[in-house]
Amino acid sequence: MHDFYLGTDEPGWLATVPVPLFVSRRRLARRRTPPVAVTTWALDSGGFTEIHKYGGWELSPDEYADEVRRYASEVGGMDWCAPQDWMCESSALAATGLTVAEHQTRTLANFLELRQALGNVVIPVLQGWSTDDYQRHRDAYEAAGVDLEAEHRVGVGSICRRNADADIGRVLVALQPLRLHAFGVKGSALVRYQDYTSSADSMAWSATARMGNIKLPSCTHRGRTCAHCPRYAQQWRDRLLRRVNEPRLFHAG
């Protein structure tokens, strides 16, 4: 793994936290004046919330493209953005009443439209649930003329809420040799399958602080825990990256 983006629900961190960040457009859209970034970052489209809250996308591709252009210009430092993809978890399918295949079709169609509007800043995202689902979606991109092996990054969706690391690993291994970004992957899976990803993001630090009732002795913020604390988030990130960089005797399979 080459790049790790620290997930945050506080867009203001872009102006103060000097590590790569992963920020949702839903959060940025709440701000009249966006922050000016002191770091590199990637834009999450907020698809999980959109699908579960509305049963689909209320924001048009043109509106989304306009937002991306604004953030790229006014915030600066944007590495890439996700398309308006459609997750394939059972809860997402229940919210839309559609099939995995239809979610894949809509994800691909949106990517093609946004690629025309935004160029290479928008990355393709593979969706599915089973390994075969992801392979079929990969084939659909290729049939549409998208050379995924030539892409600087290919997102892998619908993996962040899986409970078993091995399930995540099977998907990542099956999609080699693509330069994969693992959306929201938990730390244990990231460490185990780092050789199969080029980048990843995670906000697991927040849940760790909240569920562990963690508050650093040096913190003076009002929160009862460090679930929204940039100091704790960066310490968590440092610990994770030390685990990633530890010498290993074998590759995880």
In a domain, 131, yes or no: yes
pLDDT of residue 185: 86
| Distance (Å, whole) CA 74 – CA 68 | 10
For the chain, percent of residues with pLDDT exceeding 90 = 82
Q: Is the pLDDT of residue 253 over 60?
A: no
Tokens matching residue 197:
């990803």
Residue type, position 159, single letter: I
pTM for the structure as a whole: 0.93
Q: Give the model's confidence band at 190: pLDDT under 50 very low, under 70 low, under 90 confident, else very high.
A: confident
Q: Per-residue pLDDT tens for 124-136?
A: 999 999 999 999 9
pLDDT of residue 250: 46
Q: Give the model's confidence band at 156: pLDDT under 50 very low, under 70 low, under 90 confident, else very high.
A: very high
Residue type, position 214, single letter: I
Q: Which domain holds residue 201?
A: 3-245
Q: Give the model's confidence band at 247: pLDDT under 50 very low, under 70 low, under 90 confident, else very high.
A: low
In a domain, 20, yes or no: yes
* Region 182-192 average pLDDT: 87
Tokens matching residue 103:
């979610």
**What is the tally of structural domains in the chain?**
1
For 200, phi then psi, to 5°, come to: -160, 165
In a domain, 49, yes or no: yes
Distances in whole angstroms, Cα of residue 63 to Cα of each of 29, 59, 66: 12, 6, 5
Q: Can you give the CATH number for the domain in which 57 is found? A: 3.20.20.105
* Region 91-111 average pLDDT: 98
In a domain, 252, yes or no: no
In a domain, 145, yes or no: yes
In a domain, 253, yes or no: no
Q: Per-residue pLDDT tens for 193-220?
A: 889 999 999 999 998 999 999 899 989 8
